[in-house]
Each structure stands twice: as structure tokens, then as C-alpha cells.
């Protein structure tokens, strides 16, 4: 029996993890993703099985209203999952990398976990702010990371901007790109 490949989404409370997952699965029948307006609503890991292709794991947010056992839960998961193909670290595109994000980045780097940064909420920023944040994050990745995919993804769950590219990248890292139409 083969073990399902996994990808996980991690980020600050209210960065848009559940909204992004809902947008990614908008075209997948039978997968329901609930989104709350309340920051810190996700208190445990949620597993979304995408057919036989892979499983996407929605982590609780860190920072504001994070579960008390957040660090132990996430570190144990990330360190022990041999089938984890990529961690997606979500950063609010209107404000960039925050102190709490640096801790998550350090954790990925320390454990040698391959990860990619995803800038969310691109619809909430003026283009000048968005490009400034993008360039700062891109420079951060280039100069201060080793395990991060060199290109940050920019998405809007509201307008579905950047969703198809991210969906294709997830398909690629899980070995399912040829199945995407």
C-alpha cells in the first residue's frame, strides 16, 4: 500500500490559509472547505485528500489565537513526515514577512524542509505596495534561505489570481502535473 504524498499550508492566523485552500479546491467535486472570518479558527490540522493524488494539510495559524500546542504539533508533523513533499508558507502580501513568519522560516530551514512562500491577499494591496513586498520577499529568499523555492507565488483567493499557477506547482511537486488539464 502506498503512502499518500502530502503538502502543507502554514502561516499566521488570518493570513488566508483556509481561503486559499478553498480556492484551490473550487474545481474539485466533493471537497468542502469551511472558512471563518474569525482569526485563529483552525485549531487542529485538517487533512484534505485529493483523490489518489495527494493530501493537503491545513495547519492552524501561528501568532494570534494559536492553539497552545501549536509548536509541538507542527514541529512533530514537519519533522516526522517522510511523505511531505512541500510546505507552503503563507505571508500576507500587504504587510510582508513578520516576526512570527521568521520563526516558521527558521523551523523549515533548521529541519531541512523544502518550502515555498505564497503571498496572499494580493487584491488588498495597491500595485506599488505589492511589488515592493514581492521584491523584499524575493530578496529575503535569495539572501537568507537555503530550502525555499526561489520564486514566491502571489495569489488572491477572492479573485482566483495566481491560483492556477500554484495548483500546477502543487501538481508538479506531488508528481501529478501530467494529470492537470
* pLDDT confidence of residue 164: 94
* pLDDT confidence of residue 37: 53
* pLDDT confidence of residue 63: 79
Cβ contact 55:49 at 8 Å: yes
* pLDDT confidence of residue 35: 52
DSSP state of 156: B
DSSP state of 75: H
Cβ contact 58:46 at 8 Å: yes
H or E element: which one contains 99?
helix 99-111
Q: pTM for the complete prediction?
A: 0.88
The tens-digit pLDDT sequence of the chain (181 residues) is 456 899 999 999 889 998 999 899 887 656 555 554 555 455 588 888 887 888 999 988 887 766 677 777 888 888 888 899 999 999 999 999 999 999 899 999 999 999 999 999 999 989 999 999 999 999 999 999 999 999 999 999 999 999 999 999 999 999 887 754 5
* pLDDT confidence of residue 125: 86
By CB atoms closer than 10 A (0-12, 13-18, 19+), residue 52 is exposed
* pLDDT confidence of residue 134: 95
* pLDDT confidence of residue 105: 95
* pLDDT confidence of residue 32: 58
Q: Which superfamily does 6-179 belong to?
A: P-loop containing nucleotide triphosphate hydrolases (3.40.50.300)
Contacts of 8 (CB under 8 A, 6+ apart): 45, 56, 57, 58, 59, 77, 78, 84, 86, 87, 88
C-alpha cell at 84: 511531505
Q: Which residues pair with 89 in a beta bridge?
A: 10, 117
Amino acid at each position: 500500500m502506498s503512502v499518500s504524498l502530502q503538502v502543507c499550508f502554514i502561516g499566521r492566523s488570518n493570513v488566508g490559509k483556509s481561503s486559499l485552500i478553498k480556492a484551490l479546491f473550487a474545481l474539485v467535486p466533493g471537497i468542502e472547505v469551511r472558512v471563518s472570518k474569525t482569526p485563529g479558527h483552525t485549531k487542529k490540522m485538517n487533512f484534505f485528500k485529493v483523490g489518489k493524488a495527494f493530501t493537503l494539510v491545513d495547519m492552524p495559524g501561528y501568532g494570534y489565537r494559536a492553539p497552545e500546542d501549536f509548536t509541538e504539533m507542527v514541529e512533530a508533523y514537519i519533522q516526522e513526515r517522510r511523505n511531505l513533499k512541500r510546505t507552503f508558507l503563507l505571508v500576507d502580501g500587504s504587510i510582508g514577512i513578520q516576526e512570527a513568519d521568521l520563526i516558521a522560516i527558521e523551523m523549515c530551514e533548521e529541519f531541512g524542509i523544502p518550502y515555498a512562500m505564497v503571498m496572499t491577499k494580493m487584491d488588498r494591496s495597491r500595485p506599488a505596495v505589492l511589488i515592493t513586498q514581492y521584491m523584499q520577499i524575493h530578496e529575503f529568499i535569495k539572501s537568507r534561505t537555503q530550502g525555499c523555492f526561489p520564486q514566491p507565488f502571489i495569489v488572491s483567493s477572492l479573485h482566483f489570481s495566481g491560483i492556477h499557477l500554484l495548483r500546477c506547482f502543487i501538481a508538479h511537486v506531488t508528481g501529478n502535473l501530467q494529470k492537470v488539464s
